[in-house]
Amino acid sequence: MKRVVVLTGAGISAESGLKTFRDAGGFWEGYSIEEVATPQAWHKNPELVLKFYNERRKQGIHAQPNAAHMALKELEKHTEVKIITQNIDNLHEKAGSKYITHLHGEIFKSRSTVDQRLVYDIQGWELKIGDLCEKGSQLRPHIVWFGEEVPLMETAINITLSADVFLIVGTSLLVYPAASLVEYVRPSVPIYVVDPNASAMNINRKNVHLYERTATEGVPEVIQKILQL
Ligand code: APR
Q: Is 31 in the pocket of ligand 1 (CB under 6 A)?
A: no
Mean pLDDT for the chain?
A: 94
Helix (H, G, I), strand (E, B) or coil at 120: strand
- The Cα 22–Cα 27 span in angstroms is 5
Our answer to whether residue 62 is catalytic in this structure is: no
- The Cα 82–Cα 221 span in angstroms is 18
Residue 178 near residue 184, CB atoms below 8 Å: no
With cut-offs at 50, 70 and 90, classify the pLDDT of residue 26.
very low
Q: Which stretch, 35-39, 53-57, 163-167, has highest mean pLDDT?
A: 163-167
- Strand blocks (E) in 61-164: 80-85, 100-102, 105-112, 119-121, 139-143
Q: Is 170 in the pocket of ligand 1 (CB under 6 A)?
A: yes
On the question of pLDDT at 154 being above 80, the answer is yes
Tell me which H or E stretch contains 5: strand 3-8
User: How many CA atoms, within 13 angstroms, populate the side-chain half-sphere of residue 87?
Assistant: 30
DSSP 93-117: HHHT-S-EEETTEEEEEEEESS-TT
With cut-offs at 50, 70 and 90, classify the pLDDT of residue 94.
very high
- The Cα 42–Cα 38 span in angstroms is 7
| Whole-number Cα distances in Å, 9 to 68, 69, 116 | 12, 12, 24
Q: What is the pLDDT of residues 41-79, one digit of tens each?
A: 999 999 999 999 999 999 899 999 999 999 999 999 999
Q: Is 175 in the pocket of ligand 1 (CB under 6 A)?
A: yes
Q: Are strands 165-169 and 208-211 parallel, antiparallel or unpaired?
A: unpaired
Marked catalytic residue, from 69, 102, 104, 142: 104
Average pLDDT for 111-125: 97
119-149 burial: b if 16+ Cβ within 10 Å, else e: ebebeebebeeeeebeeeebbbbbbbbeeee
Q: Are strands 3-8 and 105-112 parallel, antiparallel or unpaired?
A: unpaired
- The Cα 94–Cα 118 span in angstroms is 23
Q: Is 22 in the pocket of ligand 1 (CB under 6 A)?
A: yes
**Nearest CA among 218, 213, 219, 190 for reference residue 203:** 190
Of all protein residues, whose CA lies closest to atom 16 belonging to ligand 1?
11
Ligand 1 pocket: which of 6, 12, 23, 92 to mutate (most atoms within 8 A of CB): 23
CB neighbour list of residue 37: distance below 8 Å, 6 or more residues apart: 28, 49, 52, 143, 145, 146
Q: What percent of the chain has pLDDT over 70?
A: 96
On the question of pLDDT at 93 being above 90, the answer is yes
